[in-house]
């Protein structure tokens, strides 16, 4: 728990522990809510991500509606704005509501899911969009800080006969939910899902472009979702479902030995039902059998029949160090890929085609790999030509666990790889109509900070991105070369064909029979024979000649 220095009356320093809610309330910018513009964006992002996890992770085709309403215009004086802890200027107070058709939240979990910091269903070895237990709770905390309004949550779990309504905020001192109102009623239909509303201060005029782009980029990698956005000015933006095919949902798996730290080991030792260390290692971890467990315990100098709950601090440290040391001398099995849910090449291509309308599109999904015991998959998509406008550099669409990353692009490992690639080697000269999509899926994405804007330069991830990008770029190169050859061929065809009528007329004259003074062959027949000669010479099927000409014209 963070500690705060406090000056006593006698000049001595005293230390006071503060809870997570108070820490993030005082340092709300660490969660991404560092200005009024970013606040609206971050709220929409966190709530949309929650809704997608509540649907697709459980095999439900998402249907999500986002409504942003301006409740009143901002009229604060300049002096009042200068006193605000939040940077920038606001232009109003907004109610942001996100409605989904997910699995819903059980009645007894609703207050904690929205009112207790670092409380989450996502602290498991499984790919999810959020992992820190902040997310929507940070939005609730920001609402308390700026408007003092609690969040309104309406939810009905699948197979539950009731719908529940709560108004909840966070007790800053205790990090416990503060329930202002609660109610319930019998469902009249079969609706299931969650509707969340928060009221915050923000600046929609500046946030609009980022919010709209975030929803658009989400729709690109989730073509199986039906997403509607209604803005404060009444604009309705809808991305209808384009396929019913969904990625395979991730499964919860046991932790891998290489991904364990001391605190995680402490928690496992206290929660395990195993009676001995040997049993704990073989039942609580993946890739650890009896033989491996005995070797690890021998390296740690621990007896196999020790009781896990009675381990000392030093014994836990020795066990963690031995697990990592074993991984350097021997080789564990790779982390299970069952915990991952990549988008898939087919869905990436559907998304890029439907949203960008390119001339060429391809996608590469690499085989699962791992870093520090955490499994990950890298996927790359390339869209080229068509309705994509030319730009001086590739347009980069970054994703982590299917979540778009819009801020601090140039600090991301994806930008590093994309910008370092020599695109001329792949027949691409800028300005060019080129979009590159990079997706990293992992049980633990190595973000650079808690705002989750950029992915760190982990060597294993960087190498996989480079390999996937090179493969996709090679496919693009083959397309560009083929297209160029087709264009050159079409130009040759046109050059030959434009002389065909004139040559046919001349040959018709030369074919005149001296006795009858009539041509022995018609002009049409001569043209057909000339076309056959041209087709044979250029290696083009005769019936394809008109298509080639139309294509170039």
- Binding region for ATP: 50, 100, 121-122, 130-137, 452
Per the rule left: phi > 0, alpha: psi between -120 and 50, beta: everything else, 120 is beta
Whether residue 70 contacts residue 108, with contact meaning beta carbons closer than 8 Å, is answered with: no
Residue that is written with structure tokens 């902040």 in the block: 134
Q: Determine whether 96 is exposed, middle or buried from the number of CB atoms within 10 Å of its CB (0-12, 13-18, 19+).
A: buried
Three-state DSSP at 489 gives: helix
Angstrom distance (rounded) from CA 377 to CA 364 = 11
Centre a 10 Å sphere on the Cβ of residue 544 and count the other Cβ atoms it contains.
Answer: 12
Q: Give binding residues as ranges.
A: 50, 100, 121-122, 130-137, 452
Task: Find the largest Cα–Cα distance for the chain.
Answer: 133
Three-state DSSP at 123 gives: coil
Centre a 10 Å sphere on the Cβ of residue 107 and count the other Cβ atoms it contains.
Answer: 17
**Is the C-alpha dihedral spanning 195, 200, 205, 207 positive or negative?**
negative
* 97, β-bridge pairs: 67, 197
Angstrom distance (rounded) from CA 276 to CA 280 = 6
Please give the span between the terminal C-alpha atoms of the chain, in angstroms, as a whole number. 70
Q: Determine whether 399 is exposed, middle or buried from the number of CB atoms within 10 Å of its CB (0-12, 13-18, 19+).
A: buried
Q: Please give the helix or strand (H or E) that residue 65 lies within, else none.
A: strand 63-73
Give the rounded distance of the alpha carbon of 311 from its chain centre.
Answer: 40
Q: Which pair of structure tokens corresponds to residue 65?
A: 């509606």
Whether residue 330 contacts residue 291, with contact meaning beta carbons closer than 8 Å, is answered with: no
Angstrom distance (rounded) from CA 260 to CA 372 = 9
Three-state DSSP at 384 gives: strand
Question: Nearest-CA neighbor of 117 among 30, 239, 12?
Answer: 30
Q: Please give the helix or strand (H or E) that residue 191 lies within, else none.
A: none
Distances, alpha carbon 544 to alpha carbons 46, 103, 490, 494, 537, in Å = 53, 55, 11, 13, 14
Angstrom distance (rounded) from CA 324 to CA 302 = 15
Question: Nearest-CA neighbor of 296 among 344, 270, 347, 330?
Answer: 330
Three-state DSSP at 98 gives: strand
């Amino acid at each position: 728990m963070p500690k705060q220095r406090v000056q006593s009356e006698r000049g001595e320093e005293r230390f006071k522990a503060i809870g997570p809610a108070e820490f993030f309330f005082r340092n709300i910018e660490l969660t991404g809510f560092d200005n009024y513009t970013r606040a609206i964006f971050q709220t929409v992002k966190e709530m949309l991500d929650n809704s997608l996890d509540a649907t697709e992770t459980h095999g439900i085709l998402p249907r999500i509606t986002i409504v942003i309403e301006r409740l009143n215009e901002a009229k604060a004086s300049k002096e009042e704005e200068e006193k605000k802890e939040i940077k920038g200027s606001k232009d109003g107070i907004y109610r942001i509501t996100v409605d989904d058709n997910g699995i819903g939240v059980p009645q007894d979990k609703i207050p904690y899911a929205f009112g207790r910091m670092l409380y989450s269903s996502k602290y498991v070895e499984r790919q999810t969009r959020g992992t820190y237990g902040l997310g929507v709770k940070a939005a609730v905390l920001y609402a308390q800080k700026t408007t003092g309004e609690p969040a309104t949550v309406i939810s009905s779990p699948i197979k539950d006969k009731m719908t529940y309504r709560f108004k909840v905020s966070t007790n800053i001192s205790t990090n416990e939910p503060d329930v202002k109102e609660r109610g319930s009623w019998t469902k009249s239909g079969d609706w299931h899902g969650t509707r969340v509303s928060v009221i915050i201060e923000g600046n929609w005029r500046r946030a609009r472009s980022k919010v709209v782009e975030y929803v658009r980029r989400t729709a690109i990698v989730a073509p199986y979702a039906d997403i509607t956005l209604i803005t404060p000015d009444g604009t309705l933006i809808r991305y209808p479902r384009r396929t019913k095919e969904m990625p395979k949902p991730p499964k919860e798996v046991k932790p891998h030995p290489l991904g364990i730290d001391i605190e995680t080991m402490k928690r496992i030792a206290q929660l395990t039902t195993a009676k001995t260390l040997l049993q704990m290692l073989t039942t609580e971890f993946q890739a650890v059998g009896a033989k491996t467990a005995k070797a690890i315990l021998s390296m740690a100098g621990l007896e196999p029949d020790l009781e896990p709950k009675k381990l000392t601090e030093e014994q836990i440290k020795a066990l963690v160090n031995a697990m990592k040391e074993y991984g350097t001398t021997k080789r564990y099995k790779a982390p299970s890929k069952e915990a991952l849910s990549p988008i898939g090449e087919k869905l990436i291509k559907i998304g890029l085609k439907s949203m960008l309308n390119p001339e060429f599109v391809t996608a590469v999904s690499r085989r699962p790999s791992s870093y520090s015991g955490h499994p990950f998959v890298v996927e790359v998509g390339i869209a080229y030509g068509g309705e994509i406008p030319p730009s001086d550099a590739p347009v980069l669409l970054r994703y982590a666990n299917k979540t778009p990353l819009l801020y601090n692009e140039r600090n991301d490992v994806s930008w590093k790889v994309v910008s370092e690639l020599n695109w001329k080697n792949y027949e691409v000269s800028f300005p060019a109509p080129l979009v590159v999509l990079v997706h990293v899926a992992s049980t633990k994405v190595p973000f650079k900070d808690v705002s989750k804007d950029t992915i760190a330069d982990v060597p294993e991830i960087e190498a996989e991105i480079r390999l996937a990008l090179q493969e996709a770029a090679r496919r693009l190169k083959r397309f560009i070369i083929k297209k160029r050859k087709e264009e050159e061929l079409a130009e040759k065809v046109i050059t030959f064909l434009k002389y065909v009528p004139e040559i046919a007329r001349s040959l018709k004259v030369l074919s005149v029979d001296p006795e009858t003074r009539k041509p022995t062959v018609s002009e049409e027949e001569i043209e057909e024979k000339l076309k056959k000669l041209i087709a044979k010479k250029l290696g083009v099927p005769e019936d394809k000649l008109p298509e080639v000409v139309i294509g170039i014209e």
